[in-house]
Amino acid sequence: MSVLIDKKTKVLVQGITGTQASFHIQRAMKYGTKVVGGVVPNKTDDTYLGVPLFETVKEAKEKTKANASIVFVPSRSAKNAIIEAIEAEIELVVVITSGIPVADMMEIRNRLIGSKTTVVGPNTPGIITPDEAYMGIFPDNIHKRGKIGIVSRSSTLTYEVVLELNKIGLGQSSIIGLGDDFIIGTNFIDIIKKFNKDKETDCIILIAGIGGNYEIEAAREYAKIKHGKPVIALMINDPTPLSRFDGIASEIICDCITDTEEKRDILTASGMIVVDSIEALKEELLK
């Protein structure tokens, strides 16, 4: 089993002819990801990178039976691309695009209510199930198959954790990057619940951000789960006061949490194991 994607997932690429999309999709195809088509409005060619091109997601889904889509379109066009995928009832949409306006993401969140679609991102490195498939911009060669599920809001820290896990012989079942933008699609608790149902995941690592309430919401829901798999939350201490994080004000806006210690207390009270370094994380995993 796996979480969200596996070798059978049929993937569409929205914006496939872009430079970044072309580079990353060729790598994903080489890895084994089943890319079945591209979506390019007003297309001039019938194929690209060896897969058929379509003008709409609906047409692409009908012709290819795709159940997932990855979005590489510019931020100004991303809202329409994501909504198009939701309306076509694509099961999984991974949004690589960053900087989508908050108002656009709020509209997308409203469209997701009652829909059949899970949106991962925006501004995400994507999802990978090692040795099967991935959607995104992961350095795929560093991941090893194993029993540890990872859900994170920090792409760089995720890569570092993966490399350190490999050193102690622990691979990963699936890795999901939720995205770094202020408003995101799916969240920590949604993914934790999926890992709880995955027979190949024994333990879950939650890599927290410096602010926001996503981890708090997850902790409150996790406390309600009976017989849940262990969750180790990695919260790296940062001595910088929240008021000093210029340029990422949206990341530190929250209802009630004012510092890392307060967030750590809430996560611990929920039953999660909270650590403040990768070395401490490894020690917990090896117990």
What would the pLDDT profile of 24-57 be if each residue is shown by its tens digit?
999 999 999 999 999 999 999 999 999 999 999 9
Beta bridge partners of 231: 204
Whether residue 221 is predicted with pLDDT greater than 90 in this model: the reply is yes
In whole angstroms, give the CA distance from residue 157 to residue 159.
5
The angle at the Cα of 172, spanning 171 to 178, to the nearest 5 degrees, equals 150
Report percent pLDDT > 70 for the chain.
91
Inside any domain, residue 5 = no
Domain membership flag for residue 270:
yes
Tens digit of pLDDT for each residue in 131-170? Answer: 999 999 999 999 999 999 999 999 899 999 999 999 999 9
| Average pLDDT of the chain, as a whole number | 92
CATH code, domain with 147: 3.40.50.261
Domain that includes residue 44, residue range: 10-285
Please report whether residue 195 resides in a domain: yes
Residue 274 falls inside a structural domain: yes
Whether residue 174 lies inside any domain: the answer is yes
Q: Which helix (H) or strand (E) holds 31?
A: helix 19-31
Average pLDDT of the residues in 196-217:
90
Sorting pLDDT into bands at 50, 70 and 90, what band is 262?
confident
CA–CA distance from 88 to each of 65, 76, 138, 184 (Å)? 11, 20, 27, 20
Place of tokens 């979506």: 39
Q: How many domains does the chain have?
A: 1
Task: Report the C-alpha gap between 232 and 285 in whole angstroms.
Answer: 9
Backbone angles phi, psi at 179, to 5 degrees: 110, 150
